[in-house]
């Protein structure tokens, strides 16, 4: 090893999956120091992003079972595999754990407003978040009745500050009050270890989904008048750098739509437009879903229609379809259908086929998680953090408590 230049060793190691790197930390003190260095961690993450899905897992959040988090090895999805129960630090007996976002190998998990944290499933390091010290709005002055109330949020990366941030938005709407919409937005910085109040959201968040993270911002489909069916749908982003909300322009030829959703594919923001063929008081049937991608964030002209998925004869009609990630070759896109199935869509043949997954999960939501060494800075000393990595195995989780 002494004959090999250090930069060559670093380059070779930075191309390996996290599981191998965690083992190689035991080879020598110099290798351990290299792998633990911030420069190497960032280089390894960039190599993972350049080599799509080489070290990627899907986390499945089952809707029914109490032990509700499972994982799938993405590289093995060409063959039949069974979801594996995922041991995580917030597991408890009283209900399912929610997955509120995933970014650069870190996952935001939550049981409730008082019990949540950020977790790296690859290294098993966990950081519990402090309670968000804010009072969700209850009733605007003059409002009568319960109104509409909701709490939404998300998780993303602020590249300018090299910081991971958790967002919580509490909203209450009363059409007969003034103001009719009361909203409060709080952002937690993992680097600083504090919650901070930012700009109040001036829109009503329509979708139950957590924010789609792309271009250093979290995005939602919103409206200005939630009580009015004719109120236009607006795409907005919360800039994680300065905490401000900004409208994002739609594609030029998008047209009107009553059904739109968001997704992230290959780090690009995607807009999913559903075309209805029939509707009644109970449900609707889609004719097709168009997947639009903003290839250069913030540039309206960079929107392109990536592909469309149409209902096929002889197949179960879908009501919901979401792109998850590209295949290893980049020639196919993995789709989640109605929270029940995975499909492969071929970009070349424009055709669908079922992904081979067994295990009996009736309904689920899927979250992409990249294998990474990204640390959870703050909230504990470096010795405890590295001890968590060294004791890593498939059944052990380590909690690093915050020292505020």
Would you tell me how many other CB atoms lie within 10 Å of the CB of residue 337?
Answer: 20
Do the bridges between strand 181-189 and strand 194-197 make them parallel or antiparallel, or are there none, so unpaired?
antiparallel
pLDDT for residue 394 is more than 60: no
pLDDT in tens, 97-139: 889 999 999 999 998 888 899 999 999 999 999 988 776 555 5
- Give me the domains of the chain, ranges plus CATH numbers: 6-43 (no CATH), 52-137+144-377 (2.120.10.80)
Phi then psi for residue 38, to 5 deg, are: -55, -35
For the chain, the straight-line distance linking the first and the last C-alpha, in angstroms and rounded, comes to 43
Residue 166 CA: distances (Å) to CA of 207, 263, 265, 379? 18, 18, 21, 15
Phi then psi for residue 195, to 5 deg, are: -85, 145
Mean pLDDT of 333-353: 90
Cα(101)–Cα(98) distance, integer angstroms: 9
Residue 316: pLDDT band by 50, 70, 90 thresholds? low
Would you tell me how many other CB atoms lie within 10 Å of the CB of residue 394?
Answer: 8
Of 299 and 283, which is predicted with more confidence?
299
The pTM of this model reads 0.85
pLDDT in tens, 36-79: 999 999 999 988 877 766 688 889 888 766 567 888 887 666 56
215: Cβ–Cβ under 8 A, 6 or more apart, which residues?
Answer: 237, 269, 297, 298
């Amino acid at each position: 090893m002494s004959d090999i230049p250090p930069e060559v060793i670093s380059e070779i190691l930075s191309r390996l999956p996290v599981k191998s790197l965690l083992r190689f930390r035991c080879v020598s003190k110099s290798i351990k120091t290299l792998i633990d260095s911030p420069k190497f961690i960032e280089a390894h993450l960039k190599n993972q992003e350049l080599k799509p899905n080489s070290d990627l897992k899907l986390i499945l959040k089952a809707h029914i079972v109490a032990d509700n988090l499972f994982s799938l090895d993405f590289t093995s999805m060409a063959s039949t595999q069974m979801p594996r129960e995922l041991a995580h630090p917030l597991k408890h007996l009283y209900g399912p754990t929610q997955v509120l976002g995933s970014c650069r190998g870190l996952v935001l998990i939550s049981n409730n407003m008082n019990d949540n944290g950020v977790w790296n499933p690859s290294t098993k390091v966990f950081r519990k978040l402090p309670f968000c010290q804010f009072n969700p709005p209850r009733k605007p002055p003059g409002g009568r009745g319960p109104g509409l109330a909701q709490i939404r949020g998300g998780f993303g990366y602020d590249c300018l500050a090299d910081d991971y941030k958790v967002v919580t938005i509490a909203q209450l709407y009363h059409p007969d009050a003034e103001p009719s919409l009361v909203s409060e937005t709080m952002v937690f910085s993992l680097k600083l270890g504090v919650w901070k109040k930012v700009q109040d959201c001036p829109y009503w968040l329509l979708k139950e989904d957590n924010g789609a993270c792309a271009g250093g911002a979290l995005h939602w489909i919103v409206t200005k008048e939630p009580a009015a069916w004719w109120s236009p749908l607006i795409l907005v982003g919360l800039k994680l750098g300065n905490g401000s909300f900004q409208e994002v322009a739609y594609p030029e030829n998008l047209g009107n739509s009553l059904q739109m959703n968001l997704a992230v594919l290959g780090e690009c923001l995607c807009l999913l437009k559903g075309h209805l063929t029939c509707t009644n008081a109970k449900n609707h049937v889609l004719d097709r879903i168009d997947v639009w991608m903003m290839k250069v964030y913030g540039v309206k002209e960079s929107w392109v229609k990536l592909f469309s998925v149409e209902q096929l004869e002889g197949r179960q009609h879908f009501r919901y379809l979401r792109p998850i990630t590209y295949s290893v070759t980049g020639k196919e896109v993995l789709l989640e259908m109605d929270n029940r199935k995975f499909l492969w869509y071929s970009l070349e043949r424009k055709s669908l086929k079922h992904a081979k997954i067994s295990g009996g999960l009736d309904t689920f939501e899927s979250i992409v998680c990249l294998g990474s060494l990204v640390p959870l800075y703050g909230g504990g000393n470096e010795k405890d953090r590295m001890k968590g990595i060294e004791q890593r195995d498939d059944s052990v989780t380590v909690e690093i408590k915050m020292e505020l």
